[in-house]
Chain A
Amino acid sequence: MRHRWRNAPLVALIVAVPNVILAQKKPPAKKPDPMAGMPGMAHDSTKTSSKKAPVKATSNPASSTMAGMPGMTGDSMAMGMPIPMPRGMPMIPGLVGLTPQVSSFLPGAGVDPTKIAAVKPTQTVRLKDGDTLDLTAGLVRRTIRAKPFVMYAFNGMVPGPLIRVAQQATITVRFHNRIDLPSTVHWHGLRLDNRFDGVPGLTQQEVAPGADFTYTVHFPDAGVYWYHPHVREDIEQAMGLFGNMIVDSPEPDYYSPVNRELSLVLNDILVNADSLIPFGKESATYALMGRVGNVLTVNGEPNYELSARKGEVVRFFFTNVSSSRTYNLSLSGVPMKVVASDESRFEREERVPSVVLAPAERYVVEARFEKPGRYALVNAIQAINHYAGEFAPEVDTLGVVTVGDVPASPDYGSRFTTLRAYPAVSRDVDRFRQYFDKEPDEHLTLTVKPNSLPLATVQFMNVDTAYYAPVEWVDGMPDMNWLSTSKQVKWILREDATGKENMDIDWHVKQGSVVKLRIFNDPKSFHPMQHPIHLHGQRMLVVARDGVKTRNLVWKDTAIIPVGSSVDLLIDASNPGAWMLHCHIAEHLESDMMAVMHVDR
């Protein structure tokens, strides 16, 4: 990974800013672990308990407070450890010595990573209608920068098993929670039965460590989906609990023919020289901007490698499972076209120089490797050095594709060159076009309220309001971000009509209605930032951005709302139940940025 920050060292001269709000310099005293020595808990992850631990429902769906929860005794690492800063950028003097106001947590406290199984490569599991899958969340050993760490995995794999099913299939998934946190499984993007949506406190209770839950998972739409926990995503998802689902259409020509299909799951892990940066135990850290990792992984590996034949056409299913990072991916000039996104194909394929993926978004992209050579898969962005007041280009290489001399067979070059239109998508959209220009049924504003943040953070944020990029690609202020916990930052979805916020919003729509939702991302808040907004259990169209109509439509479940933008979403409210609408930056979700849309029968 290369950082190219400019003009930063002068900051070392900054006069220290006085702090009136000091965080604890020492982590709180370690509490006795009530689960110590118990089977199935953190100290012995290889065994399981057949006895279900008592399930504690939380008042905050999708987000549980872990204090006092079984297995939540972490403290495996002091919070005062150095966090990685961009090269040449020191911590703000007024923040030096402070630590987040939480105790620390890392998976598998007390577990020797050398004593547990190493992570396995992802396997594809092809399931038929009526099949059953056992899905176990457990501890695994992963090696990052040559150091072994205890992390999480589904069925020992990162990503978890790639579930491949036919459209309209229904399967049973027996979920077994064998990690040291309560958990659930959310089937991201699927319009399934509300009871199996995996949201604790809303559609089910948390699945305690050692306990199990059986999901019935239906796949009504072809596309690329993913599954992940809906409890402390900032920890569980970041540490490896995610997997893809590809739903195949019965139409043989649904996608164009390609030589190969590959699922690429993008994540980033935050480490310093010696260890993983601990998570907040009682609440999330990095609540301001989300936790942005410094080790970028593709399918769990920091150095993704792929061999291809000359002229090979590869269909990539990209999924961004990162907590906060938005990617701008390209393949060193290899021609690419975007074919589909979350829940459908586009109306028309488009050539694209790069692929922008916000957290939780998926894009289906085809690429043709025309000539032999080595092609880097890179994430290239324009970061901002807030200290120097300058843009700072960053290029991260996620992997390399090596193209040999042997030609691919069959040769799909001409099919790749053709940009297909998909009239079936347009016909499906047609019945919604009459609603495109209607007045919004619901207006939401995205904003944030700080609470007891360190004074230096508040001062810096106040002076850094002259300009906000529409997308914050990286964490330009890791120290301030690290110190902010979800108890000190409240991210807000505010209903304009009532002023109600987040879970207080009482939003009901009728099943079968078409709902226009306008979301405005307030650029004048304490810290404006883009938000990937995800709606559970329904599908939606982004029909306009800042008043400009979308001309090439696609069904989505997650849409990025840049700073200062106003985005119109048209929701096909066809699936009854109580469905979460939330920001998919994990730390923003932990900081309350969620509401419920009730689709009433």
Chain B
Amino acid sequence: MTMKLTHAFTLAALVSLGPYDIQLHGTPRTPNAQGSARLVFAESPFGVAVTTDGHASYDVQLTVSGLPEPSTLGAYKAYVAWGVTTDLKQWRRLGAVANGKSTVGRVEYNKFMLVIAAESDSLVEKHAGPVVMSGTSPSSFLQMFLSHPMFRGVAP
């Protein structure tokens, strides 16, 4: 029964994903974790929120379930969400996360990952703990056309 409910939850989460949603996946440490993140334009008088140089400015609405108590993973007390550039060079703290729904901080990268990590404290400013969930932004699906089968003679 629990498995069926979990399966139903997963399906519902997948079905409800919109164009600016991110599917979050667990890691071997958190096999039951699942969830999604919705990117919603930050509040703006213009309806479209961007930075001065034109990066979209999104508030992140997280829905996660199946995260175990952080202490079961080691000397950790909290889960923290991070916005991370795809080259992993920039990590921006978004906020503390728990099972359920939460709105965390803002991401303003073009292509990025959302990462949830177990941390020693909910207020840490620097990522240090193990990653327990992650997902990539929809913009990460932009691909170079040359790699498409169409250019190897395959019909689309």
Contacts and interface: CB of A to CB of B under 8 A. Distances in A.
Contacts of A393: 53-54
B51 A356 contact: no
B51 A353 contact: yes
A467 B138 contact: yes
B142 A338 contact: no
B53 A562 contact: no
Given A356-B46, A391-B111, A523-B18, A462 B139 contact: no
A13 B127 CA distance: 42
A305 interface: no
A557 to B, nearest CB: 14
Contacts of A356: 44, 46-48, 50
A386 B145 contact: yes
B30 to A, nearest CB: 27
Interface in A371-419: 380-382, 384, 386-391, 393-395
Interface residues of B, number: 34
A10 B139 CA distance: 21
A15 B151 contact: yes
Given A386-B145, A387-B144, A388-B144, A564 B19 contact: yes
Contact of B53 (A341, A380, A463): A380
B145 A467 contact: no
Contacts of B56: 382, 469-471
Interface in A464-496: 464, 466-471, 473
A430 to B, nearest CB: 20
B1 interface: no
Contacts of B140: 467
A560 B44 CA distance: 12
Range, interface on chain A: 35 or more
A41 interface: no
Interface in B57-103: none
A29 interface: no
Interface string A337-371: 01001000010001011111110000100000000
A328 interface: yes
8 contacts: A17-B150, A353-B51, A358-B48, A389-B142, A393-B54, A559-B47, A564-B20, A565-B41
Given A15-B153, A380-B52, 20 more contacts: A10-B144, A11-B146, A328-B50, A350-B45, A352-B46, A356-B44, A356-B47, A381-B50, A386-B145, A387-B145, A389-B142, A389-B144, A393-B53, A394-B54, A460-B145, A462-B156, A523-B19, A546-B41, A564-B20, A565-B41
